[in-house]
Structure 1
Amino acid sequence: MKYVVFIILIFSFNLISTNALSAEITSVKIYGNKRIDNNTIYFYTKHPLTGNITQANIDQIIKNLYSTHLFSKVEVSIENDTQLIIRLKENPVINNIYIKGNKEFNNKDLKDDVLQLKALSVFTKTKLRHDISQLYTLYQSKGKLGVKITYDITDKSNNSIDLTININEGITAKIKTIKFIGNKSFTDYQLKSLLTSKEVKFFKIFSSSTKYLIDRLMIDQANLYNFYATNGFINFKVRSIISEVSDDYSSVNIIFSLEEGNRYKFGTSTIFTDKNFIGNKDIKSHLQKLIQSQQGNVFNITKVNNSISAITSYLNNQGNLFSTAKSEHEIIEKDNIVNVKYIVYTGDHVYINNINIKNNTRTLDSVIRRQLSISEGDVYNSSTVKTSQQNVLNLGFFEDVNVETQKINDNSVDLNFNVKERGTGSFDIGAGFSSMTGLVGKINIKERNILGTGKTFAIKLERSITNFSGAADLITPYFLDSNISLGIGLFYSQQKNQANEQRVLPSDTSVFSSSSMGFSTRLSHNITNNIIGALQYSYKYNHIYDVSRYASILIREQKGKNIDSSIGYSLIYSSIDNMYQPKNGIFAKIEQSLSGIGGTLHYIKTEGSATYLHPILQKINNDIIFKIKSSLGYVFAYNNEGIKIGQRFFIGSNDIRGFSISGIGPRDKITHDALGGNFYFSLINQVDFPIGLPDNLGIKGSLFIDAATLFGIDSEMHNNYDSSKSLRIAIGFGFSWKSPFGPVRIDFGFPIKQEKFDIKYVPRFSPDTGI
């Protein structure tokens, strides 16, 4: 009985305590608020402040006001049984936030993206502790394991402060050793080669890969899983990554603890499809052929993922835009096999509703639309959409072309081509000095998109003391709304004799005067998406006169006038990813012309070239590009005529760096005049790579090996000139720069195989066409 009485007494006491404070409030007084008005405080209490108020009500009011983070101190009491008193101390406002000692990151980025505290916001110790913790995490993720962070608060007027965060970054920890525990099937050496994190070695002392970075370790963990899962270990796990930090935070020993599990082979591979494919044996049969997971082979997660990608891509191209595929793995432990189920959800055919062109402020819609291989109403085909995107990008009018698929309903989508326009006009004016021609002035004006119509117009003028040349070209694509482009060009050039009756002349000095004028017209057509064919006609009037008596006899016999009237064709194949910044693909060209259509010259000229580009070492850097380019040309005369000097090939620095403009090929023994040749071959091998400068500078480095030869003259006077069929070879390095006026480059070539009569020249400045 006494226990019952005791329990009743305790309950009664608690009930009395809870309701001990209860008052009818008729007025409210607030003290201590300077920035925040009373009405705002009333709102933040989230409770009626008049009427019956209990202690529980007061506790809730205090809790609600603290939750706003506007106050560092809140007191609520009742006076005279009818008045509610709220006493507050406001948290200060931050005037400015200063970050000192930071070198690893941009201060603005830290303030915008990391710190919760902002200038002109309310300061709280809770947010400060959070921000300090975030900064520690950020710096340590970048290898700054010994970072020290403190702060100073400076009081200002009107309950405001300045906050200064002091950062002592310390040194970046380097990876001393990398070890593995639990690896039985592969050696430490094999596994280390998979990692982006590398141990400090003498030859890697300046490499960034030796820095201890948390993000990089996460990539390494994924690389290890992919490697093991590609080699049959589907249950592989990285149990833990242990980092042993030195006392001075300068180095780290990393230990990967691995659990390999068993090695499995592929069992059966089965496709399960939804109702859209029921009874469609042809499509299911085709999908089955796309599967790379063949029974009996070692399990390979990459082949599974590639199979899923191939299935999805095929279905997209069939118009099933919203199709998906996934794999499920059934592990049979007793047989060490994995049965793979490919589950395919096809959805319905999707049609293109509208094609919208966006952000083309200058280029006409029609110019863009004629590059599209798709039309409104077509079944959606992802391959055709990608081709259209690349076609628009290849115009060269846009920095970027992004295709957005906007779902209208389950059966239709809108395609939005979002373009970012770039400058298409250029005006170059320059001057220089050449030992051969003296002071040289150049003016180049080009617009590749006249009034947004896609037409190209270019004027080139060059003037020196002895030479003048000018050319104007107009290209009209889709001439008369056809798929044919029309090109028209006019040209004129004049070169004066520089000999002035001197016997001793620079080897590249002109020893005769010449003039040439004419026009050309060209019709081109896209035969396929990758092949362009063209027909052309050219009319040129040539005059060679004022030949120096000290010139080569092979040049003196060229004196006179002639008319070069020729027709020709060309074929171009291109799978280049970007014509203005190529990184991958093939560009090949062959052209042939027949002269003698009403003129005085009779010859056939053939030229061809092929360029291959591909990123190498993609695991290290996708911007390391290998390029190989091969070119050759041959010209021969018919009608028992010889080839005039103006129709021969002259090659040098453009084909083999380290030599002058006409640095190789037949040359007069006495005057050293370049005579040109009827046959040439050249080969360029080049690797382009980043040199560690910021990407926005657009500067890259190159290493190259060039080879070339030029020979053959229609003359029986073989004793009067030097010639050789041997390959000349040069090695060297260069730099390319994506300048505001277009890509340019400088190359330093050094011949390692040459003939005595060849002429060297270093360095070489030139536009960088990329191909």
Structure 2
Amino acid sequence: MRLGKIMYIQWLAAVFLSVFLGLGQAHAAIVSSINVEGNERVDASTVTAYFPVMVGDNVDDVILNEAVKRLFDTGLFRDVRITQTNGQVRIIIAENPVVSRIYFEGNDALKTEELEAELTLKERTVFTPSRAEADARRILNLYQRSGRYAAKVEPKIIERDQNRVDVVFEVFEGEKTYIENIGFVGNEAFDDGDLRGQILSEEYSFLRSLFSAAAVYDQDRLAVDREKIVQFYRANGFADITVDPAFVRISDNEEAFSIVFTIIEGPQYTFGKFDVVTRLPGVDPEYLKTLVEAEEGDVFSQLVVDDADEHITLIAEERGYAFAEVRTSESKNRETRVIDMTFELLEGRKVFIERIDIIGNVRTRDNVIRREFDIVEGDPFNRTNLRIAQRALERLNYFSKVEVSETAGTAPDKVVVVVKVEEQSTGELSLGAGFSTVDSYVASVGLKERNLLGTGRTLDASFSIGSTSTQIDVGLIEPYLLGRDVSGSLDVFIIEEDFEDESSYESSDTGFTLGMGFNLAEFNRLKLSYTLKQEEITDVPSTASLSIQESEGEFLISTLSATHTHARDFIRFGPEAGYSISSTIDWNGVGGDVTYVQTRLKASGNYEIFDDVNAKIVGEVGQIFTYGGYDSRINDRFQLGGFQLRGFERAGIGPRDSVSDDSLGGEKYTVVRSEVDFPLGLGEDFGFRGAAYADAGTVWGVGERGSTTNVVGDEAKMRAAVGVGLIWTSPFGPLRFNLSYPVLEESFDKTETFQFSAGTRF
């Protein structure tokens, strides 16, 4: 019999007995004395405090019954009887036992400490069956949240002397309950595979279960999935989208779930007219319109609306309107399927932030969270800034859930910002294996902690070994150096590389890099670094090119570097649309044995030309400038080929020794890679995409040291290749197959028709 039923029967018996014994005293009597019997730990005055009358008061059966109930409700007693004879009241009690010890049996998947944290019962507290039952339900909920819906928890007691009990929670954990199928009803614009690609939950497969918990059933995750489906539809023009809560069915053996999302898509809308309304002096509505990254006739996107909202608010703040807020309104024409957008910029009510409360950060320090806010206590309150801060916290990937809300403060013009987070694991152990036609085999192991001791620092250690290289790397990143929005980094490395096939030598580098980075302006970032390394070129045979023989030996290299990056996203052109331009200058010669300056410029862009058809282009140029009578070595110069220039082997083009056939590299290079990737019509579940590409590039200029050898190909002659590729996001990791055809080449170039790469991390 369950503990709750026992308690209920005892209470009924006590009430019945009290009534039965009091039948002879049906009429009211005057209380002449009150005596408490059976109490051991509970003081008699505590018992009489719950008795509704005192000596001299009238008492009847109704009052006695109410007294029995009140004493039971205290949770201190397992039995209560009250009798009254000629005004003499006897309160006879049996105290609930005290918890001596608490045990768990059968828990393997969850640690005892995790289960103890769910308990309201504690050692040396009063035991009640209802509390034990409630704790059992809390433990069961914990197991269900971890995906074990077949779990069962039963509380048992072992009686000890001195009215003490041991409480034992017997646990049957069962197996994890996985998601067998995820289906959708009502989706016409997007197939099931497209929608599965938007949500966090995944269907079970053995290989997938080894690498991810996304196939384990989780109610909270399903709620997030529903919101992600809504966001996806609204980002693609479906402003009337509704998604019902997921219908969930568990199999008869309670081992698997089937999930169905019911969707009402509605029509796809396009943007109509854009209007910005404001009465704020010094703010030009026409200029604010230019901040909307869409035009009339474009497919409606909530992402565009949100982005415009933020940009307009930030511009208003720059103009001195700290309390500015934007109200967006949609005017839908369901016949023409057009939405006119109005952005109304208001000064807003003057409200200040009284304080920022942070809840749930059991590991991450408060200051790590607070520094992601551009606002502090006392600043003007603005919801746009809260949305920006929430996204910044989510991007940290320290938390499984981030909620930023506000509540009323101590005055009408004050609010309290509440930041609620749920911590998640930030440590990673990765093992890797791969193979490619460029690098042959490679294996790696890595340890990474993205939130070291809750400080927000990243510690990364890795070791990799392959047929052509071995690398050990340990790095530490401080994202806010000295409490400022300046990142600092330290990287220590040992690298050994084998270039015997390409250029008849091996090299090794041992050194460290100190770096710092900071934002110059919106979309612009500057990184400065200093590298000191000992480089050695060895195993150069006598048959090697003279240029390489002269490069043999040990060299101390001291380098100052600066990289400026300008990057922007353009969500109106696709979820990954945008561009990036970076320029780097390395000054080798701050001491050390080499003196040259290396410059590089790289530009890249992504654009969605059709639905789920993406175009990418990358262009690079670089040059070395030597000074002080220094001649560039083989390791100083640029090489092209492999995945940098598809259709050619690694170091397969450019200046070459015609006698030894060694690639010498060049002091100048340029390369352009362009590609279009597209779905193959097999659905997102299969993970296959196709690609078509065209690459072109050249490398030239061996310098004085290289010009003394039998050099061919030291001209800026362009090489080019076209090809097709198959990309497979497999359970084993990403695989890519390239089939290339060189269309511009020299007779001494090393071409490569087929390229293959595979790898995974687990």
What TM-score bracket applies, with the shorter chain setting the length? 0.5 to 0.7
Q: 1:110 to 1:586 in 2, by over 3 A?
A: farther
Mapped to 1, the partners of 2:328 and 2:47 lie a distance apart of 58
Aligned residue among 615, 623, 626 for 1:634:
623
Q: 1:268 to 1:42 in 2, by over 3 A?
A: farther
Alignment of 1:289-304 (within 5 A): none
Aligned residue among 121, 135, 156 for 1:131:
135
> Matched residue of 1:633: which SS?
strand
Q: Which residue of 2 aligns with 1:69?
A: 75
Query: Quick check: 293-302 or 673-682, which moved more?
Result: 293-302
Q: 1:169 to 1:178 in 2, by over 3 A?
A: farther
Instruction: Give the C-alpha shift of residue 184 in structure 1.
Output: 8.4
Does structure 1 residue 508 correspond to structure 2 residue 505? yes
Mapped to 2, the partners of 1:435 and 1:117 lie a distance apart of 61
Q: 1:408 to 1:41 in 2, by over 3 A?
A: closer
Mapped to 2, the partners of 1:331 and 1:463 lie a distance apart of 61
Instruction: Give the C-alpha shift of residue 462 in structure 1.
Output: 10
Q: 1:308 to 1:31 in 2, by over 3 A?
A: farther
Aligned residue among 30, 35, 45 for 1:29:
35
Does structure 1 residue 649 correspond to structure 2 residue 637? yes
- 5+ residue gaps, structure 2, are 1-22, 357-366, 393-403, 418-450, 497-502, 508-514, 532-536, 570-575, 676-692, 728-734, 743-747, 752-762
Mapped to 2, the partners of 1:286 and 1:446 lie a distance apart of 40
Mapped to 1, the partners of 2:493 and 2:249 lie a distance apart of 68
Alignment of 1:336-351 (within 5 A): 346-347=347-348
Residue identity opposite 1:120 in structure 2: R
Q: 1:31 to 1:638 in 2, by over 3 A?
A: closer
Alignment of 1:76-475 (within 5 A): 76-79=82-85, 81-102=86-107, 105-113=110-118, 115-137=119-141, 139-140=143-144, 144-171=148-175, 172-176=177-181, 178=183, 180=185, 183=186, 189=192, 193=196, 196-197=200-201, 209-223=214-228, 225-226=230-231, 231=237, 234=240, 236=242, 238=244, 242-254=247-259, 256=261, 277=279, 280=281, 282=283, 308-309=309-310, 312-325=313-326, 346-347=347-348
Residue identity opposite 1:679 in structure 2: K
Alignment of 1:564-579 (within 5 A): 572-573=564-565
1:544-597 Cα offsets, whole Å, 9 max, x none, are 9xx9998855578899xxxx999x9966336699xxxxx99988654669999x
> Matched residue of 2:171: which SS?
strand
Mapped to 1, the partners of 2:707 and 2:473 lie a distance apart of 40
Instruction: Give the C-alpha shift of residue 101 in structure 1.
Output: 3.4
1:484-528 Cα offsets, whole Å, 9 max, x none, are xxxxxxxxxxxxxxxxxxxxxx94279xxxxxxxxxxx9x99975
Q: How does the TM-score come out when normalised to structure 2?
A: 0.53
Alignment of 1:509-524 (within 5 A): none
> Matched residue of 1:69: which SS?
coil
Q: Which residue of 2 aligns with 1:7?
A: none
1:199-224 Cα offsets, whole Å, 9 max, x none, are 66899787755544433443344345
Q: Which has the higher contact order (CA 8 A, sep 6+)?
A: 2
Mapped to 2, the partners of 1:455 and 1:328 lie a distance apart of 40
Mapped to 2, the partners of 1:74 and 1:409 lie a distance apart of 50
8 Å CA contact 1:572–1:587 kept in 2: the answer is no
Q: How does the TM-score come out when normalised to structure 1?
A: 0.52
> Matched residue of 1:51: which SS?
coil
Mapped to 2, the partners of 1:445 and 1:295 lie a distance apart of 48
1:677-715 Cα offsets, whole Å, 9 max, x none, are 4334689999xxxxxxxxxxxxxxxxxx9x997554356
Mapped to 2, the partners of 1:259 and 1:163 lie a distance apart of 51
> Matched residue of 2:31: which SS?
strand
* Aligned-CA RMSD value: 7.9
8 Å CA contact 2:53–2:59 kept in 1: the answer is no
Mapped to 1, the partners of 2:308 and 2:458 lie a distance apart of 46
Residue identity opposite 2:668 in structure 1: F
Alignment of 1:687-702 (within 5 A): none
Q: Which residue of 1 aligns with 2:430?
A: none
Q: 1:423 to 1:353 in 2, by over 3 A?
A: closer
Q: 1:159 to 1:586 in 2, by over 3 A?
A: farther
8 Å CA contact 1:649–1:680 kept in 2: the answer is no
1:592-640 Cα offsets, whole Å, 9 max, x none, are 69999xxxx99986444568999xxxx9xxxxxx99987643347899x
Alignment of 1:592-611 (within 5 A): 606-609=599-602
Instruction: Give the C-alpha shift of residue 328 in structure 1.
Output: 7.0
Mapped to 2, the partners of 1:260 and 1:386 lie a distance apart of 27
Mapped to 2, the partners of 1:132 and 1:448 lie a distance apart of 43
Percentage of identical aligned residues: 23
Mapped to 2, the partners of 1:310 and 1:449 lie a distance apart of 25
- 5+ residue gaps, structure 1, are 1-15, 356-364, 392-402, 465-505, 511-521, 539-543, 578-582, 620-625, 687-704, 734-747, 759-771
Q: 1:459 to 1:164 in 2, by over 3 A?
A: closer
Q: 1:529 to 1:89 in 2, by over 3 A?
A: same
Larger radius of gyration: 1
Residue identity opposite 1:38 in structure 2: A
Mapped to 1, the partners of 2:478 and 2:257 lie a distance apart of 57
Q: Which residue of 2 aligns with 1:49?
A: 54
Q: 1:71 to 1:508 in 2, by over 3 A?
A: same
Instruction: Give the C-alpha shift of residue 376 in structure 1.
Output: 13
Q: 1:380 to 1:725 in 2, by over 3 A?
A: same
1:205-250 Cα offsets, whole Å, 9 max, x none, are 8775554443344334434555666755648463x75444433223
Mapped to 1, the partners of 2:526 and 2:255 lie a distance apart of 63
Instruction: Give the C-alpha shift of residue 70 in structure 1.
Output: 1.5
Mapped to 1, the partners of 2:625 and 2:291 lie a distance apart of 52
Mapped to 1, the partners of 2:624 and 2:387 lie a distance apart of 41
Instruction: Give the C-alpha shift of residue 718 in structure 1.
Output: 5.4
Residue identity opposite 2:47 in structure 1: I
Query: Quick check: 452-461 or 641-650, which moved more?
Result: 452-461
Q: 1:234 to 1:628 in 2, by over 3 A?
A: closer
Residue identity opposite 1:151 in structure 2: P
Q: 1:60 to 1:667 in 2, by over 3 A?
A: same
Residue identity opposite 1:633 in structure 2: G
Q: 1:47 to 1:309 in 2, by over 3 A?
A: farther
Q: Which residue of 2 aligns with 1:3?
A: none
Mapped to 2, the partners of 1:442 and 1:222 lie a distance apart of 40
Instruction: Give the C-alpha shift of residue 162 in structure 1.
Output: 2.1
Q: 1:288 to 1:108 in 2, by over 3 A?
A: same
Q: 1:652 to 1:75 in 2, by over 3 A?
A: farther
Q: 1:117 to 1:649 in 2, by over 3 A?
A: same
